[in-house]
Amino acid sequence: MPALKNRDLSDNELMILVAAGDTDKLGILYEKYKMPLFTYFFRLTLGDKHASEDLVHTVFYRVIKYRKTFTGTGDFINWVFRIAHNTGIDHNRRLKHADSYRNEVMGVDTVVYEVPDIEKNERRELLYKALGEMKAEDREILTMGKIDCLKYTEIANILKISESNVKIRMFRALKKLKDIYNNLEKDSYGKV
Amino acid sequence: MEKYDFDERLSQLIYGDLSPDEKSRIIAGLKVDGMTEEEIMSYVSVAGILDEYPVPDPSERMDRRFYAMLGEEKKKILLGSPDRYESKRSFFLSAWPLMKIAAGIALFILGFATASWINRTSQRNQNQMAQLSGEVKQLKETLVMSMMQQSSPVERIKAVNMISNMDDPESRVISSLLNVLNHDNNDNVRLLALEALIRYSGIKQVRDGLVTSLSHQTSPLIQMRLTDVLVALHETKALPEFRKMLNDESLNYSVRGKINKAVVILL
């Protein structure tokens, strides 16, 4: 039987090989999913880069630890994001309150990328403030909606809700964000 | 239901990967349902804010940590170090049927042990109680026998009273009581002994003893009471003794009358 090239292998096949002991294959999956996972955690932690990197590491640590539980009956993307979802929940529990998130975000070492535009910077600040005032689950579903590789079906599988419910919850979360954002914006202009 | 549909369509417009035609169709539909274009666009723009701020690339530290962890894991597999989670899992998987059987057996043994322990405990308690009660009874009887030998009639009366409270006195106690009835020099003590013996009249030894006792009694009070008891017991064996008493000329008049009636009844 000719050896399969990596590019021919699906995510599920790669993970099955990892489960069988070919751990090198996890590198391929890591390279493919590190950015979507980082994005997911970055939004969830309101731009905490270090925390997001740690959370991505935790996800892959759990992937290795529980590799034998991956049977290939479901898609790898659902499985890995389910682990990410649970990792996020654990992280939230540790932080206890959304306020802690906000305090951290307002701290020094949070959003490290540079935005030279002052107006953009202010809008970003407002956005993260608004996101910080939302419930973690609302923030999570908004974040998931913005991750390219996650479609409604995948999100529904990860959160264990119906696809239709995903759409409804996404819109409601966005509506909340819009209301909070608009109020913060009004307050901000009022101060000026 | 319509509200849900409304939310779904807006969500699809914002998050869905739609073609321009599909987008126009959804917007048109939302307008028909009462939403203004500004309203629709305000949602789209808020969603757009999220896209305005791209997520930065993670640092190299994240990659280094991951590949270090992967290297460690490879080493563990090559060296055959046990995967704690897997070894636990495989142990449980392989041992599960045996564990179920073992749990069943353990449960059975536990049940059996508990039942026998309870049984043994209760048996032991019962035995102990029986032993204790036997010892108490024996002690009481010895005490009674000793009290009946006392010179004081009060002590002997107390002893007889104690016997009348016993459920199942031994033969030696009955003999002792009959002895008191036949030979005690105090009429009250003898009468009390007779009353005590009535309680055990179901015992042959007592019935025979009562019949024999007739020849020993000299007190008319006791003779009359004993006659009543023997009649009540339909003790025909007493007839020869009654006849003998009737032949005695010194027999108390009242006793004679009582015995005559008794003989008529028992014949």
Sign (positive or negative) of CA dihedral B70, B72, B73, B79: positive
Based on the domain organization, do A18 and A105 belong to the same domain?
Answer: yes
Query: Which chain B residues touch A if contact means CB-CB below 8 Å?
Result: 4, 7-8, 10-12, 14-15, 42-43, 46-47, 49-59, 61-63, 65-67, 69-70, 73-74, 77, 83, 85-86, 89
Based on the domain organization, do A101 and A153 belong to the same domain?
Answer: no
Task: Identify the pLDDT of residue B87.
Answer: 54
pLDDT digits (tens, 9 = 90+) for B10-49: 777 777 677 788 888 888 888 887 778 777 777 777 777 7
Min distance A34 CA to chain B CA atoms (Å): 9
Residues of A in contact with B48 (CB under 8 A): none
What is the phi/psi pair of residue A2, to 5°?
-65, 145
Residues of A in contact with B53 (CB under 8 A): 115, 120, 124, 127
Domains identified in chain A, total number: 2
Q: What's this model's pTM, rounded to 2 decimal places?
A: 0.51
Q: If you measure CA to CA, which chain A residue comes closest to B9?
A: A167
pLDDT digits (tens, 9 = 90+) for A40-74: 998 888 888 999 999 999 999 999 989 888 888 88
Task: Identify the pLDDT of residue B256.
Answer: 92
Rounded distance between C-alpha atoms, residue B193 and residue B163, angstroms: 9
Please compute the mean of the pLDDT values over residues A127-155 and round it to a whole number: 84
Domains identified in chain B, total number: 3
- CB A175, CB B47: distance < 8 Å: no
A residues 75..114 contacting B (CB < 8 A): 111-113
Rounded distance between C-alpha atoms, residue B140 and residue B143, angstroms: 5
pLDDT digits (tens, 9 = 90+) for A162-189: 988 888 888 888 888 888 888 887 776 6
Residue A185 burial by Cβ neighbours in a 10 Å radius (0-12, 13-18, 19+): middle
Per the structure, the complete domain to which residue B19 belongs is given by 8-52
Q: How many CB pairs under 8 A join A and B?
A: 110
Based on the domain organization, do A8 and A95 belong to the same domain?
Answer: yes
pLDDT at B4 > cutoff 90: no
Per the structure, the complete domain to which residue A142 belongs is given by 120-192
Phi-psi map region of B229: left, alpha, beta (phi>0 left; psi -120 to 50 alpha) = alpha
Based on the domain organization, do A10 and A36 belong to the same domain?
Answer: yes
Sign (positive or negative) of CA dihedral B110, B116, B117, B119: positive
DSSP B236: G
Min distance A7 CA to chain B CA atoms (Å): 20
Q: Please report which residue ranges of chain B form alpha helices under DSSP H.
A: 2-15, 20-32, 37-52, 60-79, 84-148, 153-164, 171-183, 187-198, 204-213, 220-232, 239-247, 253-266
Q: Which pair of tokens denotes residue A182? A: 């608009």
What is the phi/psi pair of residue B114, to 5°?
-65, -45
Domain end call among A81, A114, A147: A114
Task: Identify the pLDDT of residue A7.
Answer: 53
Based on the domain organization, do B117 and B133 belong to the same domain?
Answer: yes
B26: nearest Cα among B8, B39, B38? B8
pLDDT digits (tens, 9 = 90+) for B65-107: 999 999 888 877 766 655 555 555 555 565 666 677 778 888 8
The interface predicted TM-score (ipTM) is 0.76
B4: nearest Cα among A119, A79, A170? A170
| Among the partner residues B42, B49, B63, nearest to A123 by beta-carbon distance | B49
Q: Which residues contact A176 (CB under 8 A, 6 or more apart)?
A: A134, A138
Based on the domain organization, do B48 and B62 belong to the same domain?
Answer: no
Domain end call among A51, A86, A114: A114
Rounded distance between C-alpha atoms, residue A170 and residue A176, angstroms: 10
B221: nearest Cα among B197, B187, B244, B196? B187
Q: Which residues contact B8 (CB under 8 A, 6 or more apart)?
A: A164, A167, A168, A171
What is the phi/psi pair of residue B93, to 5°?
-65, -45
pLDDT at A134 > cutoff 80: yes
